[in-house]
Every structure is written in C-alpha cells, then in structure tokens.
Amino acid sequence: MDQQTLLYIMTAFVIIAGIALLLQLGFIFGIYKTAKTTEQKVAAVLPKVEAALPKVEALIASSQKTIEQGRQQIAEVMGKTNEILDTTKRQLAKVDEVVTDAATRAKVQLERAEMILDDAMSRAHETVSTVHQGIMRPVREIHGVIAGVRTALAHLARGNRPSVAQATHDEEMFI
C-alpha cells in the first residue's frame, strides 16, 4: 500500500471519529438541558413536599396505631371465635350421641313392632285355619249330607221322573 492511500484512509477515520465526538457532544448538551429543566421543576415542587412531610409523618403514625388496634381486635375476635368453635364441637358431639341413641332405640322399637306384627299375623292365620278346619269343614259336610237327604226325600216324594218343564236351572244346562 502506498503512503498516500494510507494517509487518505487515516484522514477519513479521523473525520468519522470527529463527527462521532460532535454527536456525543450534542447528546451530552441535550442531557444537560433536560437535567437543568428537571432540577428547576423539582425545586418548584420541593417546598410543597416539605410542607406535606409532617402531615405524612402524622398519617403514618396514626396508621400504625390503627393497625395495632386492628391487630388487637382481630386477636380478640379470633380468641372468641375459637371458643365458639370449641363449644360448637362439644355440642355437636352431644347432639350426635343423642341422635345415634335415638336412631338405635327407634330401630330396636321397629324390630319389636315387626316381631309383634308377625306374631299377630301368624296367630290370626292359625285362628282362621282352626276355624276353617274345626267349624267350616263340619258345617260343609253337614250341609252336604242335608242336601243329599233333601234330594233323596224329594225324589222319593215325587215318585216319577221330573218333566222337562219343571227342570231347574242346573238341570237345564245338561238338557
């Protein structure tokens, strides 16, 4: 490479570096102006903030007192709630015992009632069976004998065969 070309290349890079430095100078000047503007605005607001600072400190103290009172009240409520829950658990256990006992007794009573009903039904069935065998059967047998004797006497009293005109309803079915 020749010296002249090298000199041109170095000159170009120096010019580019100079432009970059000028751009940085412009950016730094812009940042300086923005900082000054912000400082002026903060300076204008600073007295208002300093005036409100005692009120904020009083508000923080009041808030801390209120929070502490709230904690105490919550602790009291939690204690009472725990007592109520314990009492409720005990009462619920008692109610559960009573309900269990009542259910057991009701079940026993229902079983007894079922046994009594079964016994009454079996006795009624035995009574009906006894009446049927002891009274109704002989009554039917006597009725059958009486019907036979009546028919025999009627047949002997008439002497001849009955005519078709005098047939009964049962006899008409066979004619």
Q: Tell me what pLDDT residue 165 has.
A: 56
User: At residue 171, does pLDDT exceed 80?
Assistant: no
Q: What is the mean pLDDT of residues 42-70?
A: 89
Task: Categorize the per-residue pLDDT at 13 as very low, low, confident or very high, splitting at 50, 70 and 90.
Answer: very high
More confident residue, 166 or 17: 17
At residue 144, the pLDDT reads 87
pLDDT at 23: 96
DSSP structure string for 109-172: HHHHHHHHHHHHHHHHHHHHHHHIIIIIHHHHHHHHHHHHHHHHHHHHHH-SPPPGGG--HHHH
pLDDT 10s digits, 19-54? 999 999 999 999 999 999 999 999 988 888 888 888
pLDDT in tens, 138-169: 888 888 889 888 888 887 877 665 555 555 66
Q: Given this model, what pLDDT does residue 117 score?
A: 93
What is d(CA 167, CA 162) in angstroms, rounded to the nearest whole number? 7
The whole-number pLDDT of residue 103 equals: 93
| DSSP, residue by residue, 67-119 | HHHHHHHHHHHHHHHHHHHHHHHHHHHHHHHHHHHHHHHHHHHHHHHHHHHHH
pTM of the model: 0.38
pLDDT band at 132 (very low <50, low <70, confident <90, very high): confident
